[in-house]
Amino acid sequence: MLMENSQKTVAITGANRGIGLALARKFHENGYKIYGLCRQGSQELRDMGAEVIENIDVTNLEALRAAEAELPELDILINNAGLLIGDSLESVEIEKIQAQFEVNTLGPLKVGMTLAKKLKSGGTLGIVTSRMGSIRDNTSGGQYGYRLSKAAANAVGKSLSEDLRRNGVCVLMLHPGYVRTEMTGGNGLIDTTESAEGLFKILTEKGIDKTGSFWHTTGEELPW
C-alpha cells in the first residue's frame, strides 16, 4: 500500500480504548496517519480518521499476518495490547498466568515477528510493558502473573532491539504509569491523556542509540 504523501504513520494495537486510544489521539493531533489494530473498532477511533483494522488479536499470528498485508511503511509501531489479572501467593491460578503470558509476552513477540517488518529504517517499535516487570523495583511481591509476563515482555523487547538494530529500528520498552483505565478498574494516579503525552515524547525523541532501553512515561529510565 502506497502513501499519497509524506505524512508520518503509526500503527497501534489495542487502539480502540484506554491508553491505546489516547495514544492514537495524541499522534493524530501531531499530524500522523493512524492505523488502529483492535478486535473491534470504536467510534472515537474512526472519528479521528484512523484506518481501523479489526479482528486483530495479538495472540493470533494469522490475524497479524493479515494486518501486515494491509499496512503501509510505518514510522512508529506500538504494541499496546495487554492483560491484567490480579493475584497473590494465596490465589495464584496457573491458567490465568498462562493467559497473561499469551497476551503480554507472546503478543509482543508475534507483533515483532510480523508487523515490525513494516517499520522504516529510523523507525521505532514501542512495547508497552510495565514497571511491575522490573525485578529490581519489586518491593511488594504479589501480582505473579502480571509481573512474570511483563518481565518476560521486557526480555522479548531487548532481543528484538538487537535483531532489529541492523534494520535501523529502535525498540523501546515503555511503562505508561499507573493509569486510570478499565484494566485497572478505574484506579490509578494519572489519566490516559497524561500517560499518552509522556509516551509520545519518548517514542518520537529517542533514537537508535537508546534501543533496548526501558522508560517511564515521566521520562525516567527504569531499572531491569
CATH code of the domain containing 23: 3.40.50.720
Report if residue 174 sits inside a domain.
Answer: yes
Q: Is 64 helix (H, G, I), strand (E, B) or coil?
A: helix
Residue 94 belongs to domain spanning: 9-216
Cell digits of residue 110: 508475534
Report if residue 18 sits inside a domain.
Answer: yes
Q: What's residue 179's pLDDT?
A: 84
Q: What's residue 181's pLDDT?
A: 63
Report if residue 78 sits inside a domain.
Answer: yes
> Does residue 128 carry a pLDDT above 60?
yes
Report if residue 224 sits inside a domain.
Answer: no
Cell digits of residue 129: 510493558
Place of cell 533496548: 212
Q: Could you tell me the pLDDT band of residue 183, with boundaries at 50, 70 and 90? A: low
Which runs of E-coded beta strand occur in the chain?
9-13, 33-37, 51-53, 74-79, 119-128, 170-175, 213-216
How many Å apart are CA 9 and CA 7, to the nearest integer? 6
Write down the H helix ranges in 94-140: 94-100, 106-114
Nearest to 77 by CA among 31, 130, 34: 34
How many Å apart are CA 138 and CA 58, to the nearest integer? 27
- How many folded domains does the chain comprise? 1
Cell digits of residue 186: 478505574
Report if residue 118 sits inside a domain.
Answer: yes
Q: What is the pTM for the complete model shown?
A: 0.93
**Could you read off the pLDDT of 142-169 as tens digits, one per residue?**
999 999 999 999 999 999 999 999 999 9
185 φ, ψ to 5°? 70, 25
Report if residue 192 sits inside a domain.
Answer: yes
Report if residue 198 sits inside a domain.
Answer: yes
**Could you read off the pLDDT of 23-39 as tens digits, one per residue?**
999 999 999 999 999 99
Report if residue 137 sits inside a domain.
Answer: yes
